[in-house]
Structure 1
Amino acid sequence: MSDASLIWSILTGFLVVNLVVAVYGIIYGRSLTKKLISLSIFSDTVYVFFIMIGYRFIYPSVPPVYVDLTTREMEYLTRHGVDPVPQALVLTGIVIGMAVNALIGFGIIQAYRLKKTVDARKLVGYEEGE
């Protein structure tokens, strides 16, 4: 196994562990603030996965800039060009995620103002003994 594929496998393993921890925090976290942080970690991990999809192992990777290219240059660009679609999806996801996190954060602040707690179980009326 080459060094690059070993590093790639380790990175993928860490990202999977990160996803599992984030999902655990979203499902089992009691505090709404911790749930929001777990949601942010989950989305950031998904963005890293998208960036990994668009990366090419061939060195050097070049941006897909199209100018007057010959056939040979076009073949080189096809083999070495980095896919811009995952990058565009990540950029769009970051903007949308920031807006969603701000909206959820506002909801958490309002819940605290009204109920004086951010515990999800207390907000929905679930008691420990039930």
Structure 2
Amino acid sequence: MKLSLLLIFLLFCIGFYGLCVGKTVIKSIFNLTIAQTALILLFFQLAYAPNASPPILNQGSTGIWVDPYPQALMITDIVIGASITSLALMFSIKIYHHYGTLTWKKFMNKD
């Protein structure tokens, strides 16, 4: 588990670093998606319970059940993340048509 948490942290750091130093709008959107994926993986890893059964009531079922709330939240996060990514890509197309560039430096210097 510690190795998987370390890899998730590394993935988040890669996405956050790329978001901070990205030179274009598209790279920033891509790195934001990487950081979001790392957070989703973190929630799934923390909610994992070995040898747990799904939360479905069967006759005589006892033992450890998986908590369905983190899974439901992450499915919602995936849908919201896909919507935000598509909206950001649409805005990047509008930025390119208006300013003629997707580079942050040129975009921020234009009036």
Q: Provide the TM-score with structure 2 as the length reference.
A: 0.91
Considering only aligned residues, what root-mean-square deviation do their CA atoms show, in Å? 1.4
1:52-91 superposed matches below 5 A: 52-57=45-50, 59=51, 61-69=52-60, 73-74=61-62, 76=63, 80-91=64-75
Q: Whose radius of gyration is greater, 1 or 2?
A: 1
SS of corresponding position for 2:14: helix
1:68 Cα deviation after fit: 4.4
CA deviation digits over 1:11-68, x for unaligned, max 9?
Answer: 11111111111111111111110000001111111111111121113x2x21011244
Distance (Å, rounded) in 2 between the aligned partners of 1:13 and 1:54:
16
Distance (Å, rounded) in 2 between the aligned partners of 1:17 and 1:96:
23
Correspondence for 1:14:
7
Unaligned residue ranges in structure 1 (runs of 5+): 1-7
How many residue pairs are counted as aligned between the two chains?
110
Report percent identity of matched pairs: 25
- 1:87 maps to a residue whose letter is Q
Q: Provide the TM-score with structure 1 as the length reference.
A: 0.79
Distance (Å, rounded) in 2 between the aligned partners of 1:10 and 1:18:
12
